[in-house]
Structure 1
Amino acid sequence: MNEDVRVTAWVRGRVQGVGFRWFTRAEALRIGGLHGFASNRPDGRVQVVAEGSRTDCDRLLAWLRGGDTPGRVDGVTEIWEAPRRIYSGFEIR
């Protein structure tokens, strides 16, 4: 079953000031079919919200955890929900 989902991920580590949001957007666009955003948080984390198929969201999470990102990812925490369908693309905030 590959229904549409929403995943909100909080990425911690050295992920601000290294192009992390830009590369996250590029990866989401490469995967295709994902809508959402990547945003710097005041506490130093990056918040990533992605909506699309479960498979595509899993692929983005695997990339976030995979070590091929800029900077250094120390951990990723995610929450899964039903999609809200309020995004028209994938943006950097």
Structure 2
Amino acid sequence: MSEDRVRLVATVSGQVQGVGFRWWTRCRALELGLVGEAANLPDGRVRVRAEGSRAGCEQLLRLLRGGDTPGVVRDVQAGIEAAEGGFTGFVER
């Protein structure tokens, strides 16, 4: 896998389930050329895992923190890691 590919792993808390947040995240990720998933967690948070260029992942993180998301984002805990592969497209779970 190319060295410039990375994985963003973000856990988003707030009012982010049942408000179109995962769909919105998917749209933004696809616009940025990223693959991955946005998944509801049992505790009401959403986990976002996205792979692609570092610039694309960093832009997605800025968007997640930017205040224009559906619902109410209270906190985003995130990190950038080495890409692992395994994603095709971007899905909502």
Pairwise same-fold verdict (TM > 0.5): yes
Q: Distance in 2 between matches of 1:24 and 1:64?
A: 8
Equivalent in the alignment of 1:5: 6
User: What is the aligned-residue identity percentage?
Assistant: 56
Q: CA RMSD in A?
A: 1.1
Please report how far the alpha carbon of residue 81 of structure 1 lies from its aligned counterpart in structure 2 after TM superposition. 1.4
- Give the secondary-structure state (helix, strand or coil) at the position aligned to 1:18: coil
Please report how far the alpha carbon of residue 88 of structure 1 lies from its aligned counterpart in structure 2 after TM superposition. 1.2
Please report how far the alpha carbon of residue 79 of structure 1 lies from its aligned counterpart in structure 2 after TM superposition. 2.3
Q: Distance in 1 between matches of 2:8 and 2:88?
A: 16
**TM-score normalised by L of structure 1:** 0.94
Structure 1 range deviating more: 67-76 or 79-88: 79-88
Matched, 1:58 2:58: yes
- Give the secondary-structure state (helix, strand or coil) at the position aligned to 1:44: coil
Unaligned runs of 5+ in 1: none
Please report how far the alpha carbon of residue 18 of structure 1 lies from its aligned counterpart in structure 2 after TM superposition. 0.2
